[in-house]
Structure 1
Amino acid sequence: MDFKQIQELVKMINKSNISELSIEQDKFKITIKQKDNEAQIITVPAAAPVQMVPAGIPAQPAAPAAAPKAEAAPAAPKADNLVTVKSPMIGTFYRSAGPDKAPFVNVGDEIAPGKVVCIIEAMKLFNEIESEVSGKIVKVLVDDASPVEYDQPLFLVEP
């Protein structure tokens, strides 16, 4: 999908009453959401066949392999006392300094203010993201090497 096609989709979404549109092709996925009469574009790599989903209509799974995997989660601590570490910028999230390096933090690790928890690559610059809170990592909310938005939750921390 080229830039001109994306622009046309945004114009059509703005003129319609559709609140969300998702399209997946080969290794490309785009989601366009309307927020306060303004379209927002989110693109991520994907491996699913083409799928167009207007808001309010459930999407049919393309194949059994595309179905979400059920994971057994241990008893999670109460969500009301968790602190969220959020992305300070738009970019690509990395849990470690390199593919052969260990992650900066894992679930169960103790962190303190100033400890590097991840790297976000923006415009070919690798920015170390430091914790502003102390506590224990309860959950990593973003997959390694995936795009993140400004203020997107990255980690849940139990203070």
Structure 2
Amino acid sequence: MSEMKLSVADITKLMNEMAKTGLGKLVLEDGDFKLNLSAKRPKLAVCTSSEVQAEIPNVPVMPVADMPAESPALSGNVVEAPIVGTFYGAPAPDKAPFVTVGQQVKKGDVLFIIESMKLMNEIQSEFDGEVAEILVEDGQPVEYSQPVMVIR
């Protein structure tokens, strides 16, 4: 039986490739070794066997069964990140945000930007209504289909 050895750099490289391609889940298995990478959650979850945990002790490992439950359901029209990238609420650091909580928006209004692969992608509203919640901070990384904003 061969023994699979992955370094922190190898796992980080896999995670970066997942972020670039938008891949939601990757499972590697070899004998007793199992590595699950999932990008469906706000943070990438890494679940490994105890052998890998001993090899890279500074990386917290959480079995899937022990992961926290999803956040409670959001009420209203949830705007999700259409791509993996970095959230920006304003067109530039010295400019006013596109929208604020309590502001009325119409379908087609720019709500925020997601920077992905050095491109600034303007995300437009698919709904008419009032911005009820902004769920991420400026400059925070977002995952594909992560809730970013609620419009009611």
When normalised by structure 1's length, the TM-score is: 0.57
CA RMSD of aligned residues (A): 3.5
CA contact (8 A) 1:137 1:155 kept: yes
Q: In the alignment, what sits opposite 2:10? A: 3
Identify the residue that residue 32 of structure 1 maps to in structure 2.
46
CA, structure 1 residues 111+13, in 2 after alignment: closer, same or farther (shift >3 Å)?
farther
Please tell me whether the aligned partners of residues 28 and 36 of structure 2 are also in contact (alpha carbons under 8 angstroms).
no
Measured after TM superposition, the shift of residue 106 of structure 1 is 1.1
Q: How does 1:71-90 map to 2 (within 5 A)?
A: 80=75, 82-90=76-84
Counterpart pick for 1:116 among 100, 105, 110: 110
Deviation of 1:116 after TM superposition, in Å, equals 0.6
In structure 2, runs of 5+ residues without a counterpart are 1-7, 15-26, 49-57
CA contact (8 A) 2:47 2:63 kept: no
Q: What's 2:97 paired with?
A: 103
The answer for the alignment partner of 2:121 in structure 1 is: 127
1:50 positional shift: 5.1
State the distance in 1 between where 2:115 and 2:103 align: 23
1:97 alignment partner AA? P
What amino acid sits opposite 1:11 in the alignment?
L
> Distance between the aligned counterparts of 1:107 and 1:13, measured in 2?
49
1:55 partner amino acid: V
Q: 1:5 to 1:87 in 2, by over 3 A?
A: closer
User: What is the TM-score with the length of structure 2 in the denominator?
Assistant: 0.59
What percent of counterpart residues are identical? 36
Higher relative contact order (CA 8 A, sep 6+): 2
